[in-house]
């Protein structure tokens, strides 16, 4: 009995001890929460009073770069990549065979029309010309001989004809026999055939003269081919045949000449632009500018001079050409250039920097800065791009200020401040006036 009571007493003491420990833990947690709450309240109070460590309301404004929408005349242009093409290209070949005795230029020289390029050995052609001239003189002499024979035989024929007529009268009178009269008429007829032969000989001599004269002229022309001269102003390329080699007529290109003053720039525009191009071409010349990709300062100006007669069905584009005077020879055949075709000028257009226009699910928009330094979202209709600016067709008025940098931090009604630490921000602020 005593042992059983002792165990009950010990069990009750253990339960009271565990209960006390649990209540102590709950009290400690409650005290910690109260302390945390008191500490948070002190901080919030300090922030609300603007004490140490708090943020002022003005410091919440988002830093942005801005620019002012301006109104000005802007060009309506088409910008594409084009290719420079020689105004004309001449492949020089020899029209006669022989030894290339002299090359009168250096590869890459600028030459003018009429300048001597090549000389070919002319001695054989000169000998052939002398022979042809001798044949021509012989043909002329043969013609003279045939004409003299004709004159002699004509006189003889006239005598025989008159004698035959006399003999005919005498035969009728019975003075001469009929046989003598027929013999006289036969001699006159034979002489007439001789005259006909003389006339044929004369025609043959004339034909021979024409043939030999043509041979002479042909050889004289071929002699001029022994000196090859440039047909155009241009720049020579690589020399294909060196001095001292034999060349055959029309067998190989000796050199290629490209005319680069003036010069073409060939480019293609989408077929949707064809109507506008035709419309504005009817109103006057269309300006074309070409800028080499490796030399932005080397811009050249020309005019549109060619529109192809067929749209390329594979690409949906049409080929155009601009003609440039290329006085400084900045444009080079085969070179790729940036081409700008100016169609017209749009007056009083609203223009903002390109980076001010954002794209969203509902289309293009800009952030407009209001007088109270807050922003609003404004839907706009973007038009043509002009260098680094963009034409706004609807949604903005001249003089309104738009955000150009910092849009990711903004929402409708957000407060902003103009950033001063970038050249863009300083320029934009100065533009705001």
Which candidate, 139, 84, 70, places its Cα nearest to that of 290? 84
Structural domain contains residue 244? no
Structural domain contains residue 176? yes
Q: Which domain holds residue 131?
A: 122-225
**C-alpha pair distances (Å), 65 with each of 28, 350, 376, 405, 424:** 54, 19, 15, 5, 7
pLDDT averaged over every residue in the chain = 83
Question: Which residue, 307, 329, 347, sits at the end of a domain?
Answer: 347
Within this chain, do residues 138 and 220 fall inside the same structural domain, yes or no?
A: yes
Query: What distance, in Å, lies between the first and last C-alpha atoms of the chain?
Result: 105
Within this chain, do residues 280 and 315 fall inside the same structural domain, yes or no?
A: yes
Within this chain, do residues 309 and 402 fall inside the same structural domain, yes or no?
A: no
Q: So what's the pLDDT on residue 46?
A: 35
List the CATH number of the domain containing 272: 2.40.30.170
Structural domain contains residue 108? no
Structural domain contains residue 161? yes
**C-alpha pair distances (Å), 2 with each of 12, 14, 90:** 16, 19, 135
- Measured CA to CA, the distance from residue 225 to residue 220 in angstroms comes to 9
Within this chain, do residues 394 and 320 fall inside the same structural domain, yes or no?
A: no
Q: Once rounded to an integer, what is the mean pLDDT over residues 303-329?
A: 95
Q: So what's the pLDDT on residue 29?
A: 37
List the CATH number of the domain containing 388: 2.40.420.20
Residue 219: left if φ>0, alpha if ψ -120 to 50, beta else—which one?
alpha
Within this chain, do residues 158 and 216 fall inside the same structural domain, yes or no?
A: yes
pLDDT tens digit string along 357-391? 999 888 999 999 999 999 999 999 998 788 788 89
pLDDT tens digit string along 177-226? 777 777 878 887 888 888 888 889 899 999 999 999 999 999 999 999 99
Which candidate, 317, 290, 318, places its Cα nearest to that of 303? 290
pLDDT bracket for residue 268 (50, 70, 90): very high
Within this chain, do residues 215 and 274 fall inside the same structural domain, yes or no?
A: no
Q: Could you give the number of structural domains in the chain?
A: 3
pTM of the model: 0.62
Asked whether the beta carbons of 300 and 324 are under 8 A apart, the reply is yes
Number of Cβ within 10 Å of residue 212's Cβ equals: 20
Q: Once rounded to an integer, what is the mean pLDDT over residues 133-140?
A: 93
Q: What is the CA radius of gyration of the chain?
A: 53
Within this chain, do residues 307 and 263 fall inside the same structural domain, yes or no?
A: yes
Q: So what's the pLDDT on residue 237?
A: 95
- Which of the 8 DSSP states describes residue 286? P
């Amino acid at each position: 009995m005593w042992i059983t009571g002792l165990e009950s007493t010990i069990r009750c003491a253990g339960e009271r001890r565990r209960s006390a420990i649990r209540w102590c833990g709950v009290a400690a947690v409650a005290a910690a929460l109260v302390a945390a709450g008191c500490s948070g309240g002190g901080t919030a109070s300090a922030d609300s009073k603007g004490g140490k460590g708090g943020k002022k309301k003005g410091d919440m404004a988002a830093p942005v770069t801005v620019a002012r929408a301006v109104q000005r005349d802007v060009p309506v242009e088409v910008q594409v990549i084009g290719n420079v093409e020689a105004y004309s290209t001449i492949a020089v070949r020899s029209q006669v065979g022989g030894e290339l005795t002299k090359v009168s230029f250096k590869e890459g020289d600028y030459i003018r029309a009429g300048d001597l390029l090549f000389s070919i050995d002319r001695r054989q052609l000169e000998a052939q010309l002398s022979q042809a001239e001798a044949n021509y003189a012989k043909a002329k002499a043969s013609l003279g001989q045939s004409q003299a024979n004709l004159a002699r035989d004509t006189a003889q024929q006239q005598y025989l004809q008159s004698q035959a007529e006399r003999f005919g009268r005498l035969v009728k009178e019975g003075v001469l026999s009929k046989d003598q009269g027929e013999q006289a008429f036969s001699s006159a007829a034979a002489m007439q055939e001789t005259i006909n032969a003389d006339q044929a000989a004369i025609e043959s001599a004339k034909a021979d003269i024409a043939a030999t004269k043509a041979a002479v002229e042909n050889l004289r022309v071929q002699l001029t081919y022994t000196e090859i001269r440039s047909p155009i102003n241009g720049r020579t390329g690589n020399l294909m045949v060196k001095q001292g080699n034999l060349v055959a007529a029309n067998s190989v290109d000796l050199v290629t000449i490209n005319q680069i003053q003036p010069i073409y720039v060939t480019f293609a525009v989408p077929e949707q632009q064809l109507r506008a191009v035709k419309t504005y071409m009817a109103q006057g010349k269309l300006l074309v500018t070409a800028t080499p990709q490796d030399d932005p300062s080397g811009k050249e100006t020309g005019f549109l001079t060619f529109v192809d007669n067929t749209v390329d069905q594979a690409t949906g584009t049409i080929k155009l050409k601009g003609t440039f005077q290329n006085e400084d020879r900045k444009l080079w055949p085969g070179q790729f250039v940036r081409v700008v075709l100016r169609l017209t000028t749009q007056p009083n257009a609203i223009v903002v920097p390109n980076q001010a226009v954002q794209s969203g699910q509902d289309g293009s928009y800009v952030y407009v800065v209001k007088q109270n330094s807050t922003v609003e979202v404004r839907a706009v209709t973007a038009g043509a791009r002009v260098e680094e600016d963009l034409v706004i067709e609807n949604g903005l008025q001249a003089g309104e200020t738009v955000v150009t940098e910092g849009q990711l931090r903004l929402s409708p009604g957000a407060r902003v401040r103009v950033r001063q630490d970038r050249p863009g921000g300083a320029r934009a602020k100065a533009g705001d006036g």
